[in-house]
Amino acid sequence: MRSHPQIALGLAVATFAAASPASAADFDGDGHEDLVVGSLFREVEGFGSAGSASALYGSEQPLSTNRSQFITQAAPGMHDEPWYGDNLGWAIATGDFNGDGRDDVAISAPEEVVERHRLAGVVQVLYGAKDGISLSRGRQLSAATAGIKGEPAKELLFGLALAAGDFDGDGRDDLAIGSHREGLQGAGAVDLLYGSRHGITTNRSRHLTNARHGLESVGLNYFGRKLAAGDFNGDRREDLAVAIPFATVGREGNAGAAKVFYGSRDGIQTRVTQTITKDSPGMGGDGAVASEELGSAMTTGDFNGDDRDDLALYAAKDGPKGPVGEVHVVYGSNRRLRTRGSTYLDAQDPRVITDNDHLEQVGFWGLGLGAGDLDANGRDDLIVSSNFTRFGNVFFGSGRGIRLSAQQQILEDDLPGDGVQVGSEFGWAVGAANLNGRGPDELIITELMTGREDEPCTGDGGIHILYPGNARNLRGRGYEFFTPNSPGMAGAGGPGCQAWGWSLGL
């Protein structure tokens, strides 16, 4: 894995998987979905790696920069100011937190100093409005916020993961926030904050930890390193999958697991939970294996069209020349996720990577995961990328779920973009949104464009937007490519190495 010198902590591969959006957002309520792009290393007012985000708004026309917004902690109305290494834009989650019919956005800066605690972290919550995301009526959250049942600490990394969903079924989305530590370094924690007519509130907050709500093993487990929300049992309340990628399973250290907490009238409940590992009945592959870190990436979508969300999880399966990767798709049912009948996707399976010329390039295949209905058949499709190479797949949903026989492969070489660049990290984040309000969802793929291995980080980052015509032609209705310096882009002109595309909010 290429290291990024701007990141203060030498964290494991699990840290570097982009957040995986599962649903799309409409911030201005015009009926067209919008997106937010995180720019982790953006310099702001001279502060390196302060971080930023860009909002782009959908319309009946192809996506444009006409109404783009540049979001930093230096913006008027924000409850903070930029500083070196804040890394605003690390994780993004979207949802309608106040129930006004416009989606809102949470953006984390997990390396910000809080009460003199280095790398303690904050989350900025910004609300949608008629003209788009409002920067003047948001709220900043941290472990120091009254009502949050924790406290700021060195290397807490509050906001390392985010997920939004309506866990109590009251019509307002709620927010889950993952942190790096809880007492023991790397143990991890998740804070649950609920929506209200005034937006996110701490009145009913819950604090989940590995020691109380995770697995019996203690120590460095990274409970909450990744989060994913979806309605797995079809009760109209969303549920929460919490990754524990460094969990020990049997005698296999760092094999990884996911803990699933189900929604209820009172929100996320901890009385009845579910643990998914590679040893769970029906899971494909070779069972739990040390250092595969199941759950290092996750996404949700309804892949079989039964009105229950399903969960896709990545594991870092080894290949002949290093980590190759695999993805497990676990399907929802009327009670809980069922591992029996799950779909197993192995990058070394010739039915998955059909082009042998690219098999050796597929390191960490599955570390980029997303979902969306790219063929307009009413079932979500699974987007899988190998975000340290130039390769990805779309597996199309069906009445039987994800099928190996129905897929399209994506090569960066085949997209116009601005040309293949060594180490571009094509597919760092992937997702889908219906930006123009008609036809299939658009496929969105980011790349960090960090330059050649032997050169300093010089790339700005970019996003590819593919307008599918049908399952056989992912660019049948068009293609666009944007960078942070595209004409008309708000905030254009910043220095290089911005990592624009580190995260997506959809």
Q: What is the mean pLDDT of residues 261-281?
A: 96
Q: What is the pLDDT of residue 46?
A: 94
Picking from 81-85, 113-117, 403-407, 454-458, which range would have the lowest pLDDT averaged per residue?
Answer: 454-458
Q: What is the mean pLDDT of residues 409-417?
A: 83
| pLDDT over threshold 60, residue 89 | yes
Amino acid at 210: N
Q: What is the pLDDT of residue 425?
A: 83
Residue among 114, 83, 81, 223 at smallest CA distance from 160: 223
Q: What is the mean pLDDT of residues 416-438?
A: 80
User: Residue 371: CA atoms inside 13 Å, Cβ hemisphere, count?
Assistant: 29
Q: What is the pLDDT of residue 495?
A: 78
Q: What is the pLDDT of residue 357?
A: 57
Q: What is the mean pLDDT of residues 417-445?
A: 84
| pLDDT over threshold 70, residue 10 | no
| pLDDT over threshold 80, residue 12 | no
- Kindly state the DSSP code that residue 414 receives in the 8-state scheme: G
- Indicate the average pLDDT of the chain: 89
Q: Which two tokens stand for residue 63?
A: 């996506």
- Kindly state the DSSP code that residue 384 receives in the 8-state scheme: E
Q: How would residue 100 be classed by pLDDT, with cut points 50, 70 and 90?
A: very high
Q: What is the pLDDT of residue 97?
A: 98
Q: Is the dihedral of CA 274, 317, 163, 121 positive or negative?
A: positive
- Each residue of 332-355: b (16+ CB within 10 Å) or e? bbeebbbbeebbbbbbbeeebbee
User: In this predicted model, what pLDDT tens digit does every residue of 343-370 receive, in sequence order?
Assistant: 999 988 888 876 655 555 557 899 999 9
Q: What is the pLDDT of residue 95?
A: 98
Distance CA 111, CA 158 (A): 8
Percent of the chain at pLDDT > 70 equals 88
| pLDDT over threshold 90, residue 106 | yes
Q: What is the mean pLDDT of residues 461-487?
A: 90
Q: How would residue 3 be classed by pLDDT, with cut points 50, 70 and 90?
A: very low
Beta pairing partners, 314: 327
Read off the pTM: 0.94
Q: How far is CA 377 from CA 305, 342, 430, in A?
A: 9, 21, 20
| pLDDT over threshold 60, residue 442 | yes
User: In this predicted model, what pLDDT tens digit does every residue of 298-346 receive, in sequence order?
Assistant: 999 999 999 999 999 999 988 776 778 999 999 999 999 999 999 999 9
Q: What is the pLDDT of residue 324?
A: 85
Q: How would residue 8 be classed by pLDDT, with cut points 50, 70 and 90?
A: very low
| pLDDT over threshold 90, residue 26 | yes
Which residues have CB under 8 Å from 455's CB, separation 6+?
none
Higher pLDDT, 103 or 460: 103
User: In this predicted model, what pLDDT tens digit does every residue of 163-220 receive, in sequence order?
Assistant: 999 999 999 999 999 998 776 667 899 999 999 999 999 999 999 988 888 776 656 7
Q: How would residue 277 be classed by pLDDT, with cut points 50, 70 and 90?
A: very high
Distance CA 425, CA 109 (A): 22
Q: How would residue 456 be classed by pLDDT, with cut points 50, 70 and 90?
A: low
Q: What is the pLDDT of residue 410?
A: 87
Q: What is the pLDDT of residue 448?
A: 84
Distance CA 161, CA 106 (A): 11
Q: What is the pLDDT of residue 215?
A: 73
